[in-house]
Amino acid sequence: MKNIYITRRETFNAAHKLRREDWSDEKNELVFGKCANKNWHGHNFELFVTVKGVPSVDTGFVINLKELGEIIKKSVIEKIDHKNINLDVDFMKGKMSSTENLAIGIWKEIEHEIVKMGGELVKIKLFETENNFVEYFGGKEPY
Ligand code: NI
């Protein structure tokens, strides 16, 4: 039987800044724009976690979406919602708080939990704003 892809949506809001202290104010503003603001700012993030699998004969489910929602809440949302990504979030320590790095960090936080449920994580889609989002499909990390 062919795989079916199923997605759970969760939301959180968090503060961050994209700023390199080894760069001048001018260069930070040129590269990171408003996200370089010294005194922080927030985004309303929208997260889509996609899992693939074959539906169970017993339940018709690929994965129980309520349980998937609980995994995402426990492994990601509770750690990041209403927090400062640069300062408060353990899995983002030492990384630039870009949406790309956040998607990679979220993948690493939840992948093993999804495997335990018998699912296969295939995509993290993360909106930082209405117009800007990233998609991460796993595999070798860029650095
Ligand atoms: Ni920003």
| CATH number of residue 91's parent domain | 3.30.479.10
Cα(140) to ligand 1 centroid in Å equals: 26
For the question of whether the overall pTM of this predicted structure is more than 0.85, the answer is yes
Residue at 61 is within a domain: yes
pLDDT at 116: 93
Residue at 32 is within a domain: no
CA neighbor of 116 nearest in space, from 47, 63, 76, 79: 63
How many structural domains compose the chain?
A: 1
Residue at 51 is within a domain: yes
pLDDT at 142: 67
Of 41, 78, 82, 135, catalytic: 82
Chunked into runs of 10 residues, the chain (143 residues) has average pLDDT values of 92 97 96 96 98 94 95 98 98 96 97 93 97 93 69
Q: Catalytic: 112?
A: no
pLDDT at 140: 76
Residue at 131 is within a domain: yes
pLDDT at 2: 86
Residue at 19 is within a domain: no
Of 16, 109, 113, 128, catalytic: 128
Residue at 73 is within a domain: yes
pLDDT at 139: 83
pLDDT at 20: 96
pLDDT at 143: 66
Given a contact cutoff of 8 angstroms between Cβ atoms, the answer to whether 79 and 91 are in contact is yes
pLDDT at 90: 97
pLDDT at 135: 98
Which amino acid is present at 74? K
Cα(69) to ligand 1 centroid in Å equals: 25
For residue 122, the enclosing domain spans: 4-14+43-136
Cα(42) to ligand 1 centroid in Å equals: 6
Q: Cα–Cα distance between 140 and 38 in angstroms, integer?
A: 32
Residue with tokens 């927090």: 83
Q: Catalytic: 128?
A: yes
In the structure, ligand 1 is a single-atom ion and the residues with CB under 5 Å from it are 35
Residue at 50 is within a domain: yes
Beta 41-53 vs 133-136: how paired, if at all? unpaired
Cα(112) to ligand 1 centroid in Å equals: 29
